[in-house]
Amino acid sequence: MIDDAAPAAPAPSRVLDRALLYLLIALVVALMTSITVVGVVTFLIIVVSVLRLLDPACRTRDRAPLRWPLLTFAALTLASALASDHPRAALVESKQLLNIPIVIAAVNGFRDGDDVRRALRWLFVVTGLVSLHGIAQVWACNTQVALPEWAAWMLRVKLDACRASPMFRAKGFFSIYMTLGGSLLIVLALILARVATVAPRAWGLQIVAAVPAAIALALTYVRNAWLGLGAAVLVVSGLTRRYAWLVGLLIVATLALAVPSPVRHRALSIVDPADPTARERLYFWHAGWRMVKDAPLLGLGPGGVKRHYPEYRDPAARRPSTGHLHNNFVQIAAERGVLGLAAWTSIWVAFFVQAGRIYARVPAARAGDRALVAGSVAAVAGFLVAGLFEYNFGDSEVIGLTWVVMALPFVVDPAHALAPHQE
């Protein structure tokens, strides 16, 4: 926390500090509940961030880690848009860049690990409630119990339609189950890191939220999120040297494959070459490769996949059109070219290098802060592994949560922390 002996910050700075902190807490809650609120809060965060640039006290102490790879990617995205055959439409699609300032805002909005943990407590509570909501959705759509209309409205499902579906998938308050799966992956990575790092008496709400979150993640049937969570477990185990987690992962995977259920069917389909969705992904990736060959440096521009996929579509593909190619690397290369892909990749390389160094600098006595760094690294690793089979970089809620989580190592970095909390 801020040293009591330090001189009080000027009033405008204190107002901006508090406003940014509260907005970040509101953002992590909104990212699990409402895309509309996410847009409003993100806009306010950008406004406050601009005001901080105008305030000398804020400007002298604010930091911008990862700024060069982030700025390079943004610049190449805009260059790709201007060079595309539909520059106006491509520039509109570039609005995704407006989410990038979130990571810088989080670095400066959270003063220390205590602020982060305060925000995460809200995130965990909301995640538990959203997970229970998703579980209730699946139950309602798989039971023949008569439910009143108000119950269906609260669960955000159409009972006639979902009960006719062979496999209804939990989606919570999101429009699609993929978003819930990707968000739960990130939250569970943070929880796993804390449980593996701090004493059991400090687990608190994490365990309460983790159980329904894990069940809801299973009920999304989102295979790439499952793989991402597996990667997160591997990272947490390696960083904390709690290799028993790997045994736990193996036991859970064995049980999931041994018990006949829709989860087992989805899990086995990951390695089934005859699975129709796996074949369709191959068609997407082949189309993306042809796009890269036609526009190697700057790609087709943001939104180019949606505009041009019919021209590159394999005749054997089932879907006549698509907005994304179910792989972050292929999608970025197709729309931003190899230059944009190199810049995008450099963001993650720089993050892992710097976060790894920070983790080594945080002393063992600061177990709570080490958990934040480990959870951040695990969550980003899980996000990237899941992105090998889905364009989750284009999912506003998932990437928004990822940007916030990426800031955590820099918040607790001993080289910059004002007065780190001991836990």
Q: Is residue 6 in some structural domain?
A: no
Q: Is the pLDDT of residue 244 over 90?
A: no
Q: What average pLDDT does range 410-421 have in this prediction?
A: 72
CA distance 89 to 307: 10
Residue 96 sits at the vertex; the CA angle it makes with 95 and 99, to the nearest 5 degrees, is 110
CA distance 371 to 239: 10
370-402 burial, b at 16+ Cβ within 10 Å, e below that, comes to: bbbbbbbbbbbbbbbbbbbbbbbbbbbbbbbbb
Q: Is residue 418 in some structural domain?
A: no
Q: What average pLDDT does range 19-46 have in this prediction?
A: 95
Q: Is residue 421 in some structural domain?
A: no
- Residue 129's alpha-carbon distances to 5, 209, 313, 356, in angstroms, are 41, 8, 41, 33
pLDDT in tens, 361-389: 999 999 999 999 999 999 999 999 999 99
Q: What six digits make up the tokens of 404?
A: 């916030």
Q: Is residue 5 in some structural domain?
A: no
Q: Is residue 417 in some structural domain?
A: no
At 422 the pLDDT is 38
Domain containing 149 equals 11-411
**Residues 6 or more apart in contact with residue 99 via CB below 8 angstroms:** 42, 396, 399, 400, 403
At 387 the pLDDT is 97
Q: Is residue 360 in some structural domain?
A: yes
Helices in 173-275 by DSSP H: which ranges?
A: 177-197, 205-220, 223-240, 244-258, 262-268
Q: How many domains does the chain have?
A: 1
At 10 the pLDDT is 56
What is the pTM (predicted TM-score) of this model?
0.92
Q: Is residue 18 in some structural domain?
A: yes
At 198 the pLDDT is 85
CA distance 383 to 377: 10
Q: Is residue 39 in some structural domain?
A: yes
At 270 the pLDDT is 65
Average pLDDT, the chain: 90
